[in-house]
Amino acid sequence: MAVRRKKRASSKAGCLLWIGAFVLLLILFLVKFGDIRAVVQKTGFLDALNHAVSKPNPQPSAPSPSPTADQTTEPRLQEQPQQQEQPRQQELPQQSEPSPAEPPPSEQTTANTPSDSFETAPSPATPSPAAPAQQEKKTRTAVLYFVQVHDDGSISSQRVKRTIPVSDSPIQDTLETLLKGPTESELRGNLLSLIPSGTKLRGVSVRGSTATVDFSDAFGYNRYGKEGYMAQLRQIVYTLTEFQNVKDVQFFIEGKPRAFLTEGVPLDRAWTRTNF
């Protein structure tokens, strides 16, 4: 009985020893699994094992072919290149021959290049005929006369200069500028025009040294009385006699002469600077 117990105890100890060794190996395997896997992949052990497993078993060698077998195999050898060459002959035209409907890219670009460059090229800018005229447009200095009313009620003439364009009718342009009145800066300098508002120039002409001017009907009404009438005549006479060829001025209203502009201011004769 004692011997049996010893055998059982030794067998149990042996089992425990094997189990402990297996557990230890399993732990080492799990710990070193990455290294083991890398070594196995590096050595190609798995590929060799898979190749050995998947390799079919060698079949027994076939008996030597008879002459009839050689005859049957020859047609097969001749048919194989025909089957391989047929798809090549079908594929070659598709790869080498371009489509006739679409020209090559190089031809398209070269064909489109001249038309594109012609369409996008900016046309040379042609100078407009008005540009040289504006650049060559000349100006001149016109002398105008306005009035200034002083605190004592006296009226004096004030000479100003304006820059106006050069034209074929300098006397008419000068009178038109005078009828427009003083500018804002001139108004701030206490300059006024006593020519009645709304007066229009109907015409002007020069014969000899006399300038004949024709005004609208508004020229005959001045609300400042005799002094206002005299001041408006002086503005025009002084302005026109700034021209060297004009010595006196004859006045018309609505195309007709008048004997008097107002009482004491006759219009039946030409006016000069000495009349003021």
Q: What is the pLDDT of residues 228-271, one digit of tens each?
A: 999 999 999 999 999 999 999 999 999 999 999 998 999 999 99
pLDDT band at 87 (very low <50, low <70, confident <90, very high): very low
What percent of the chain has a predicted confidence (pLDDT) above 90? Answer: 46
Phi-psi region of 190 (alpha: psi -120 to 50; beta: other; left: phi over 0): left
In a domain, 16, yes or no: no
In a domain, 235, yes or no: yes
**pLDDT at res. 255:** 95
**pLDDT at res. 17:** 85
In a domain, 130, yes or no: no
Contact 140, 166 (CB under 8 A): yes
Give the C-alpha separation, 113 to 272, whole Å: 79
pTM over 0.85: no
In a domain, 69, yes or no: no
In a domain, 267, yes or no: yes
Domain of residue 270: give its range.
137-275
The whole-number average pLDDT for the span 29-56 is: 71
Q: Spell 216-252 as b/e; 16+ CB within 10 A means b.
A: eeebbebeeeeebbbbbbbbbbbbbbebeebebbbbb
Question: What total of structural domains would you count in the chain?
Answer: 1
Q: What is the pLDDT of residues 2-40, one digit of tens each?
A: 556 666 777 777 788 888 888 888 888 787 777 777 777
What percent of the chain has a predicted confidence (pLDDT) above 70? Answer: 63
Indicate whether 111 pLDDT > 60. no
Sign, Cα dihedral of 29, 30, 32, 36: positive
Give the C-alpha separation, 265 to 254, whole Å: 18
- Mean pLDDT for the chain overall: 77
In a domain, 157, yes or no: yes
In a domain, 203, yes or no: yes
In a domain, 236, yes or no: yes
Give the C-alpha separation, 108 to 102, whole Å: 9
